[in-house]
Amino acid sequence: MDLDELLKVRDHYDAEVRRGAQGPGVERVGRVVRMSVPGWSGVLWSDLDEGTADAEIAAQVAHFGARGPAEGGPEFEWKLYTHDRPADLGDRLRAAGFVPEPAETLMVGRTADLAALPVEPPEGITLLRVTDEAGVDLMMAAHDRAFGVERPRTKEAVLAELRENPDSIEVVVAMAGEVPVSSARLEFRAGSDFAGLWGGGTDPDWRGRGIYRLLVAHRARIAAERGIPYLQVDATDDSRPILERLGFGVLGVTVPYIWQG
């Protein structure tokens, strides 16, 4: 994609996925769109300026801070993008007590191109479609091998989607015999032309064999069957070069700002 097309796709992404988000847990309150679902709560989009930003930040802190454990507790994320306004929004969030996590690159690729990638499973690797808790446990085991951290909220969120809205998510685990060595998710958004690629981490002992590429192509074929034109990724520094080689374009940078109370 050239620069003009990337800017158009970015505007389309903002309009559908952020400002126009649909589905359970989505609320439009004043100048903010926020969402609360099992495993994640936060601000998806805001329309702020120098005169409104601080008051809106305080309003969201008050809203989420008042939640009890049954509602997910006070922790939430303000998902900031580099093109959001005002330009110093990140500084204002830090001043309000938010802590930034590592930046990720917002990338988008055409589903049809990615679905056509000539990819075969590496020797010894099979793909397992996840549909139940046992499969989610395999997904989490692969995640732990890949990233070295436990994220129980991810398990909670995936289980909730599989039980309550199974058409919104596809989960796959790459198995080396009986051992899960990589996992990935494909998440569909109501009324959107964009499906999200999440996960994709691989056990260090199995990297460099094409598993990540395989999981991208596999999910692209599923999205293509459902008529989704674009795939979106919040890419780490490790995955960005691979995605660029596969044909993804860069729309910008996103930083999760976390407020824990």
Q: Which domains does the chain have, with CATH numbers?
A: 3-106 (no CATH), 108-251 (3.40.630.30)
- CB-CB contact of 91 with 236 (8 Å): no
pLDDT tens, N- to C-terminus, the chain (261 residues): 888 999 999 999 999 999 999 888 999 998 999 999 888 899 999 999 999 999 999 999 999 999 988 788 899 999 999 999 999 999 999 999 999 999 999 999 999 999 999 999 999 999 999 999 999 999 999 999 998 877 778 898 899 999 999 999 999 999 999 999 999 999 999 889 999 999 888 999 999 999 999 999 999 999 999 999 999 999 999 899 999 999 999 999 999 999 998
Please report the pLDDT score of residue 172 as a whole number. 97
- Which pLDDT belongs to residue 72? 80
Which of 189, 183, 214, 252 lies closest to 6, judged by CA?
252
pLDDT at position 148: 82
Taking each helix axis from N to C terminus, what angle separates 133-147 and 152-164, rounded to the nearest 10 degrees?
150
* pLDDT given for residue 139 in this prediction: 96
Is the peptide bond between 86 and the residue preceding it cis, with omega within 30 degrees of 0?
A: yes
Look-up: residue for tokens 């395989």? 214
Does the global pTM surpass 0.85? yes
pLDDT at position 138: 97
Predicted confidence at residue 149, as pLDDT, reads 75
258, with CB counted inside 10 A (0-12, 13-18, 19+), is middle
Q: How far is CA 133 from CA 72, 128, 141, 159, 199, in A?
A: 21, 13, 12, 7, 17
CB 115 within 8 A of CB 222: no
In 68-77, which positions are buried (b, 16+ CB within 10 angstroms) versus exposed (e)? eeeebebbbb
pLDDT at 147: 86
What's the pLDDT score for residue 87? 97
Instruction: Identify whether the C-beta of residue 229 lies closer than 8 Å to the C-beta of residue 110.
Output: yes
User: What are the tokens at 254?
Assistant: 């996103």
